[in-house]
Homo-oligomer: A and B are copies of this chain.
């Protein structure tokens, strides 16, 4: 496969997920991977597979999704980046594009990822953040959320927070860090782990919100994790509050 003239590229991509059926190409609707591959093909004249660091669900956003692709194009990187942004729709932007060593692969080389979940906790919704935050009217107890979120840190089997249809060999992941910050009426939840199962952040957030609303005590979290059973955790938070923020290499 590897021929003379093959180059390997790393893309950092931001997208508003509202209009997309997620990252990965699928038959049911338009995806971010698909529009990037289409733009690359128009630009370079060759069908190109773009590998993302991982899938994002329908409606989920990304500030720093990373993707890699191989191409024989002779275009300078700055020209490729400008050309892609000229062809891509306004809700998908290439933030940076660099030529990287042949061994780099967006998914296989990733060491960890950070996701951000944004909650707008206020009696009245905000027209400007409605596409980017889960709006919850009732006041949430941030201290209870922080206490429960702390239990997620460490190496656990996260099966309780995995979508029922998520097929992965092992459900063990290491959560390096969970941070919860209040910014006025906004509650920002940051999760950094070596990997995430399908829907994992959204189920964690749905569970933390039930704790913040006083429907479960924060001390229940270790038992929810230990149950290794999706039914032990809370509902799945909606996709539009979720951002893939950074992929770490």
Contact = CB atoms under 8 A, between A and B. Distances in A.
Interface string A67-95: 00000000000000000010000111111
A125 interface: yes
Contacts of A124: 85, 93-95
Interface string A41-85: 000000000000000000001010000000000000000000001
A90 B240 CA distance: 15
Interface residues of A, number: 19
B61 A93 contact: no
A63 B124 CA distance: 13
B128 A16 contact: yes
A130 interface: yes
Interface in A1-37: 14-16
B16 A127 contact: yes
A184 to B, nearest CB: 13
**Which of A14, A63, A125, A127 has the most B CB atoms < 10 Å from its CB?**
A127
B94 A61 contact: no
A126 B127 CA distance: 18
A-B residue pairs, 4 tightest by C-beta? A16-B127, A91-B127, A14-B127, A93-B127
